[in-house]
Chain A
Amino acid sequence: MPKNPHLPKNGAKPDQAQSRDLNSNLGPEPDLSVKLGPLKLKNPVLAASGTFGYGLELAAFCPPQDLGAVITKGLSLKPWSGNPSPRIVEAGFGLINAIGLENVGLEAFLEKYLGPLKKTGAVVGANVLGQSQSDYVALTERLSQSQVDFIELNVSCPNLQHPGGLSFGSDALSLAQITKNSVKAANDKPIVVKLPPLVTDIVSLAKIAQDNGASAVSLINSLPALSINLESRQANLANGPGGLSGPPIKPLALRQVALCAQALAIPVIGLGGIMDHLDALEFIVAGAEAVQIGTGLLVDPTLPVQMVSDLAKYLAQNNLKNLGEIRGTLKF
């Protein structure tokens, strides 16, 4: 077997192939802060829901208070046990999951997890999901009285479908009602609407979220996908289909983010296959105010903090004072 040229030697980390000497001639510390509705975040790097637990599990690798914000695992009113195993499979260069939204439920989150997480000083967004519109309102209402800083409505998980077979976020009327009623119930806490990726017209859905009072939209959620075992002719996941995430979905995510950012007045939070600060910068050039790291966190639990420091170095090296100087500078 010949030596594999991709496996680094001499102490270089496999994932630091692009490291450069960035420490020379640094000017004043660049400003990485971003605005999310009424919230000011110290940097644009957010942990995506479902990949950061309830906020403290990965603290030894990635202190939650060092990120712009952390978005906790999707919460339902009551605990959910999720899908049968196997729940994940690698597919091509990406990952398909059908975890099935297993979560401890709203009350356990409020009692056990939120307090210690807030003690770190982290900005916390709670991701919520429901089986009916009233679930979203109930969740939002309860969270509006808690220490969470904002609420992300998951109306787009491929593992969660309402009886019609579509996610709530794909249906204009449902999306409008859920957003409007949640905003009302949230009592001034910012509402972020996480949009589905595969729709005929993402901009019109994003505008519905905006027009009904959302403070921001986040996109894209994972893509509906299927992995097949040819030998057994079974799906590789016990659930059958799942949600595709990771590097393969980045180009689609960039396109959807760029379209929404151009059309919307509210901030767009970009996510989908971001694996380093350069990916994040592409989203910001596309118009994203901030980004979320999901699958990248599973691959490397230190990734978001590395990205924050790499973003600062990038700005310094390119004589940029803040991210606003490159945000939305995409030339069509």
Chain B
Amino acid sequence: MGEVFERRALGGRNHLLEISLPKGDFKALGRFVRLRAWPRLGLGPGTLLDRPFSIHRAKPGLLTFLIREVGPGTKILTSLNKGDQVRVIGPLGQGLDDLEPNFLSQKWYLVAGGAGLGPMGSLVEALGPKAKLFYGERSGPDQVRLDYLKSWFKKSSQENIVATTEDGTGYGRPGLVTQPLIQSLALEKRAMIACGPKGLLAALAKIAQQNGLRYLALAEERMACGLGVCLSCSLPKLDGSNFRVCQDGPLVDGLSLDWESLRA
């Protein structure tokens, strides 16, 4: 059982939720947990299940989540206050250190679409100047505050943040997040890790293929259990088999999935 250490607004509908855990000492790097801050029967419609959340950052005894209010579960989670109890089941899934034990030996492009920014926190923290972050939103009011984003990087490497908004109403550049990424790829090819809407993840699969890049998609799927039994989070692979996001992922070889068959 965890307890809310702090919750603060980060711009738009985004909140940072810090949960202290008596026995939490592990690396995030793409792993996730189940969060629940409501009774077993739920707290109103649409809150029967726990919510799977990528861990934003992990420190001994403290887990941080970047949560955007989009529905009844996130509404409760973004309304919690210091001292509120939260059931945490996890860590679940495989981390980047499981998939790529030598991940620190290379530079990465990290691509986040919208709420897909969540898991990037610990990746930036681990990679430091070896990470270049592309962060795209639809619109300015959706963006996480720039000062918070900058706090992830040392001052000397803050040019490694490239933000975009599709309608040009926010900080950064107007347009799709893939545009500056393609420009960067023309100068320097790197492996990519991405999290966000399926449309973005699918577009990045094409870009990765065209450029011959290693591409890990961090899939955030609906889950009922996160423990490998409900099979809600299965994604189709090109070889006809299924990828079980909660156990085999959430990081997955983005070139192995059949993106075309998925609803955007």
Contacts and interface: CB of A to CB of B under 8 A. Distances in A.
Interface string A87-122: 111111111010100100000000000000000000
B187 interface: no
A53 B228 contact: yes
Contacts, number: 142
Contact of B230 (A6, A86, A99, A246): A99
B41 A14 contact: no
Nearest to B39: A14
A89 B85 contact: no
Interface string B202-223: 0000000000000000000111
Interface in A203-240: 238
Contacts of B146: none
A94 B234 contact: no
Interface residues of A, number: 51
Interface stretch (A123-131, A134-142, A263-271, A297-305): A297-305
A275 B242 contact: no
A251 interface: no
A310 interface: no
Contacts of A164: none
Contacts of A89: 222
B236 A95 contact: no
Interface stretch (B46-54, B114-122, B166-174): B46-54
Contacts of B228: 53, 57
Contacts of B104: none
Contacts of A15: 39-40, 87
Contact of B232 (A9, A53, A87): A87
A301 B1 CA distance: 14
Interface string B37-71: 11111110111111000000000000000000000
Is chain B's interface secondary structure helix, strand, loop, or mixed overall?
A: loop
Interface in A1-56: 1, 3-4, 6-9, 11-15, 17, 50-53
A95 to B, nearest CB: 6
Contacts of A14: 36-40, 85, 87
A87 B36 CA distance: 21
A297 B50 CA distance: 12
B76 interface: yes
A275 B81 contact: no
11 contacts: A6-B43, A7-B37, A14-B36, A50-B230, A82-B234, A87-B234, A93-B48, A102-B231, A295-B224, A296-B40, A299-B50
Interface of B: 1, 36-43, 45-50, 76, 79-81, 83-85, 87, 89, 221-225, 227-236, 240-242, 261-263
- 6 closest A-B pairs (Cβ-Cβ)? A53-B229, A15-B40, A298-B224, A88-B232, A90-B46, A57-B228
